[in-house]
Structure 1
Amino acid sequence: MNSEKIAELFKLDDIDFDQCGSAEEYELKLLKQADIFFFDNYFKNEEILFFAFDFYYSIKLLENNENLEILKNILKNSEVLKYFKEKNFGIKELVLIITAFDKSTDYYISTIKNQEKNQDKKIQEIYKKYLNFINSTDDTYDFKIWYRNQIELLTANLFLELSTRLVKNEHQMKICENITLKNKSREWVSDFEHVFYKYIQDIYYPMINQKELKENEKNKKENKFIRDLDNMFNSLTNHRISYKFISELVSITYNKQMNESQIKKVIYDGSISTSITQYKKKYIHDRDHNIIAMEIIRDNDFHI
């Protein structure tokens, strides 16, 4: 459904841009109008559900029948609707909930496991190739010795260059010597094994911090849904949703009863990467730069 038809359906044209103090105020009024129209009319016509998700460029989520059925069940739940009314939640929050559910399916979890397994495998292959290379130099010119000699030669040349061009007295000569020849960091820089292991750490630890699943944990689907839900709301709304609300959603989506203490434990018992994760919106554009879809993705540039 194109933007003009959505605007007409949700009566967005009733909002006058010129009467708003800013573009931000105008956008907020449009979103509020869409929410009001949705909750006033959805129960008369379920098709409005598709138009509402299309309004947020998230119609693709409803192409999955399971997502659609879960969404309908959520909207039938009086406790959820009561919480929505109390918090002034609307279509955006429904999109977050269904996104969290969609990212917790067996298919998605299987994909994550395969990706993480492949990443681990790549690091092991890098390490294996490193060992093969180092061992192959034993009978010729040991690479580690060559590397150390090159670092020492480079440092010595740097000292000579600095002392010749910049040093004007004995005090400056001592400073130059301490920076170059007597610099403690030179010891580990000249140790190729140390440099390589630092490299492995630098590619391995970020990978650990970006893991979406906690290893050796049961109920992976439910727990991922709970953590993603909490993190998405914290990242993309001004609300921290209650454990009671999450418990109600778990009951609807997985037909599983979890009390507030259990929900809290799942959230705070994750690894660093799964318990504290930032999410962001990603918009997809067509050739004319029009927005055609919106995805909610993990912000892997986010650091604790």
Structure 2
Amino acid sequence: MLEEGVSPDGVSLASFLSMLAQYGNIKQGKEVHCYLIRNRFVQNSILISSLVNFYAKLRRIDYAERTLVQSTKVNVVAWSAMIGGLVRINDLHGALLLYKHMVCSGKKPTEKSLSIILKAIRGLRFLRFGSQIHGYVIKVRFQLDKFIQSGLIGMYAACGAPSHLCRRLFDQMVVKDLVAWTTMIVAHGLQGEGSATLRLFDEMQERGVCPDSATFASALSACSSSGLLYEGLKLFCSMIHKHGIRPTKEHYASLSCLIAKDRRIGEAYKEYERLGLNEDVGALESLLRACKVHGEIAYGEMARRRLLEIEPGNYSACRILADMYFAAGRWEDAQSLLRDSGNARVS
């Protein structure tokens, strides 16, 4: 465009910065910043917001802050982008202080800035300040915004508020999307209400909302907290076979925790065989780690044998079982296993 003698306007430059942020191109973004300074675009509030948002998304908070401070045309969008950047790098106290500074400077929070600051409050578990935000939301009639509603539910749940309060907010929502359902599932899980979590999970699907990976992770965590072994295993199996969702490390960690907390390793192993989970390498590794927690060597040996049948090159199973032998004082068995597996790590 520049080579052909066409000067870009503010809208095209803002769009270009947004694209550069998506690709993480910090070098070209700085070149655009220099172009804006040379051509006196730096007092354009839209472009200032785009620059702050660009740097914040790439976690260059130093550049974002400098841009914000040096400009006299800072709108609430730029403030929100900066606050969001601080939340993204987990500087939650900094985000809270900047939000207060924004309000004190006369800027009125928008739905976007409120939903962002609710994430910071949730992380810090500042219930009192969260309640103040809730009061402001009602005062300015933002309570029908689905992002704010989900943010309030998540904030109250993280702060330990009773689940019936979260449910009241949830029931007031006109549009309940997947984020809202998942947030409410998390709320029940944090209160140790596994059965309520599963009822809500079923209700969500009856309403035509399909769970995603995050929803299953939250539901599995709730089953683990409540000791719902069979329900958790069925849920895990449904995630794979019915919904076609590939388990992540988070799912496998919840599965291992579920079995370890329940302590019924033998029954878990039988359920594995019944549900076909003994064909899944990650699920078997989760079972093996649960065996390690409780020193269940016999079932650990069975899980390890099955793992090597499916994946002969998986020697992490041998190392886990060797650790179990060491813990039980079976030094020779541990050394023999490590030697046979080609990982003789004997201290």
Same fold (TM over 0.5): no
> With structure 2 as the length reference, what TM-score do the two structures score?
0.20
The structure number with the bigger radius of gyration is: 1
> With structure 1 as the length reference, what TM-score do the two structures score?
0.22
Larger strand fraction of residues: 1
Larger helix fraction of residues: 2
